[in-house]
Chains A and B, each alone.
Chain A
Amino acid sequence: MAHVLIIDDDPDIIDSLSMILEANGHSVDVKTDTGQLIEDVVKANPDIIILDVIFPEDPQAGFKAARTLRKSEQINHIPVLMLSAVNQRSNLAFSISNSDISDDFMPVEAFLDKPVEPRALLGKIDELLGVPQTSH
């Protein structure tokens, strides 16, 4: 089972995601902002990171954090799963989708819409960690 680091400012999202992950045998660490990113990630030593896009301090903090993580040789092997409510269903020019994943804009391994179905979340984590797919 994996050690998951959730980086999100919304306590309810953290709570609901933690419930799902812990019930499925994963352990969870939480970080509510993107400050001291490298130090905190190194300290938490997660197998996978779940990252929000919009933080109160900066609407693009999630993207910036993803780029910082990717640049760090110490931790760029840790897969990052990005979550956002400002997804394609918003029909806005800046809506995010899987097609936006790129090294210079959104350097993450996968993107999921918020709210995320528990099965989809667990399936994506297994996929990113190379665990054979099982029905959750």
Chain B
Amino acid sequence: MKRLIQLFDVDWGSSNYDTELRRTELLVRLRWFVALRWIAVVCCLSLAVAAYSRLVPMRFDYRLLAGASLFLALTNLLFGYFNKTIKPDFDHTRQVRYLVIAETSTDYLVLSVVSYATGGFEFPILAFFISEIILVSLFCRPAVSLTLTLTAVVFAASPMVLEHLGILPTLSIFETSYKYQAIADPYYTVGYIGCITLSFLFCWYLVAEISLSLRQREHEVEQTQQKLILLDKEKTQATLRATHELKAPLAAINSYIYTLRDGYCGELPEKAIQVLERVRTRADLLMNKIADIIHLSNLRTLVGEEASIAPIDLSRFMVKEIKEANLIGQTRGIQVHNLSQESPSYHILGASVQLHSMISNLLRNAINYSHDGGTIEVSLSGTTDQVSLTIEDHGIGIPEGNLERIFDEHFRSNNAVKHNPNGTGLGLSIVKEIARLHHALIQVSSKVGVGTTFTLTFTLLQPTKS
């Protein structure tokens, strides 16, 4: 009883039955019913032809069956049209509701006529009412679905009641006296209608109850999702504030350095300008380090689902990255060559912001640890389900003993510090985290004085046709 009361009592928020998802699902089911009705039209018409031609031993009323088929076909044309034109958005909520009521009522009427034409309880047409009750109990509010279920009882019982009252002539497909006796007996008629009522109501209760539980779970999932969205928003805002709080003072310091350096506060001696330049360099490094620390801490808490993952053509992506890297390398005469200019498209799933960060980190490393005037080769090679991106420099290389530590935070090998004192020691940790996010395999081989090769292997979104 408690559950029965709950069926009417529960407050899920007005949107719960009217969400777009639910309306879409309902329209899909209604389309099923339109298709099923065409099958029903064919079956009904076949039965009418069979009865007319005496191909079946039962005496179905073929005129009523043919009339019901024609009516169903005509109404189904209309329902099919409305089903296609009504969109599952909020503006069409009322139309979707009216369509359900119209389709269900039409089906009840046709089923009632067909039931009468096929001898009422002599032929199991009434079972088809159950499918309608299931549909309305799943998608309509309990009060609406109960009303439609009781309407089904009325339509299902009406041929028998009308026959019993003598308003309609009694039809028996087997022409047995049993049907006539049963219809004439008020106890039998009442008992039969009571059974129909109970079975329909039981069906309604069962489906509405299951539907209630499912909706409550759906509601809980929706609430949890809202909480997660809110938490994510709060996290983004907190990171934004932290980034701003840490970077804004440095931006102000650098702004003052620029005004001093460029003589806006009066002419400075050459030595003071040199000192200012060093202060600026250190402030820049600190700014980069803060950016890297925040980026890394963000990546650690990021899972693939949160990272705006989308299909990316890695071949095209690399063209842009290599162009940018060449601009960076220009000042030291370092050239980055794309060895896969003619390569086919390799589509992977990636978060473009993070992917850019990972690849630009590797390319900047290759430039930073190359000798002036050096070259870097970038290539892509694919198999049927994977693509490998290789970045090869001919720079200072990494000592063998340090290779397994290069992805550790703040670790920098001695020769790297000597060659480029301005690194943050966080770049490769960021690369490792982004590779994790993309389920990419990262491999490195290096020899001191010869160079370093990084290879990133991604899973292809779809097998490549070369």
Contact = CB atoms under 8 A, between A and B. Distances in A.
A and B associate: yes
Interface of A: 10, 12-13, 15-17, 19-20, 23, 54, 59, 85-86, 89-95, 114-119
Interface residues of B, number: 36
Nearest to A22: B264
10 contacts: A54-B240, A89-B288, A90-B243, A91-B357, A92-B239, A92-B295, A114-B247, A115-B251, A115-B255, A115-B257
Contacts of B254: 115
A131 to B, nearest CB: 19
Nearest to B351: A93
Contacts of A115: 250-255, 257-258
Contacts of A59: 237, 240-241, 244
A18 to B, nearest CB: 10
A68 B401 CA distance: 58
Nearest to A17: B255
A10 B252 contact: yes
B70 interface: no
A90 to B, nearest CB: 5
B291 A23 contact: no
Given A90-B243, A92-B298, A116 B236 contact: no
B10 interface: no
B308 interface: yes
B247 A16 contact: no
Contacts of B236: 93-94
B258 A90 contact: no
B294 interface: yes
Interface in B245-263: 247-248, 250-259, 262
Interface in B366-421: none
Contacts of A16: 252, 255-256, 258-259
Main secondary structure of the interface of B (DSSP, over half): helix
B154 interface: no
Residue in A16, A19, A117 with the greatest tally of chain B CB atoms within 10 Å: A16
A85 B247 contact: yes
A89 B430 CA distance: 14
Contacts of A10: 248, 251-252
A19 B243 contact: no
Given A94-B240, A118-B264, 16 more contacts: A12-B252, A54-B248, A59-B237, A85-B248, A85-B251, A89-B287, A90-B295, A91-B295, A91-B353, A92-B239, A92-B295, A93-B307, A114-B247, A114-B248, A114-B251, A115-B250
Contacts of B298: 92
B251 A13 contact: yes
B244 A85 contact: yes
Contacts of A118: 258-259, 262, 264
B55 interface: no
Contacts of B256: 12, 15-16
Nearest to B292: A91
B247 A86 contact: yes
Contacts of B248: 10, 13, 54, 85, 114
A59 B248 CA distance: 13
B243 A92 contact: yes
B259 A86 contact: no
Contact of A12 (B237, B240, B255, B357): B255
Nearest to B306: A93
B113 to A, nearest CB: 57
A17 B255 CA distance: 8
A118 B264 CA distance: 10
Nearest to B261: A118
B265 interface: yes
A3 to B, nearest CB: 19
A131 B398 CA distance: 51
Contacts of A23: 264
